[in-house]
Amino acid sequence: MKIALFVLCDTDRLENLGRMSNAFMIAKEALENDDDLKFIFSGAGTKWIAELEKEEHPLHKIYMEVKPYITGACEYCTAGFKQGLHVKEAGIPLISEYKKHPSMRRLIVEGYSIITI
């Protein structure tokens, strides 16, 4: 199965912690089943990288398990939300396929199921 998971939710509300947790559960299940996974931070979701890099964050451990499989972060949104330094320090690649954004269309054409969180 081909899954493209886009994290779009902001870090500003407790309910979004649940969304981020769900994103990691989807990712872990996909990886355990050898699915082709694209895990992408976009929009306000780019703010999660700085938070998840903190060892004291409750999702840090699962983030570190999934981190090697993270595809990248939207270049445009990373800049727009002023997350460039955090994304760079975390070693997350920037994606700029279509006007400095990831191309959802390309992923759909390639047969990926798109999940947005």
Number of H helices, E strands in the chain: 6, 5
Query: What is the residue range of 68's domain?
Result: 2-116
Question: What CATH number is given to the structural domain containing 57?
Answer: 3.40.1260.10
pLDDT digits (tens, 9 = 90+) for 81-95: 999 999 999 999 999
pLDDT at residue 76, as a whole number: 98
Q: pLDDT digit of tens for each residue in the chain (117 aa)?
A: 999 999 999 999 999 999 999 999 999 999 999 999 999 999 999 999 999 999 999 999 999 999 999 999 999 999 999 999 999 999 999 999 999 999 999 999 999 999 999
pLDDT digits (tens, 9 = 90+) for 39-54: 999 999 999 999 999 9
Count of domains for the chain: 1
pLDDT at residue 39, as a whole number: 98
**Which amino acid is present at 38?**
K
pLDDT at residue 28, as a whole number: 98
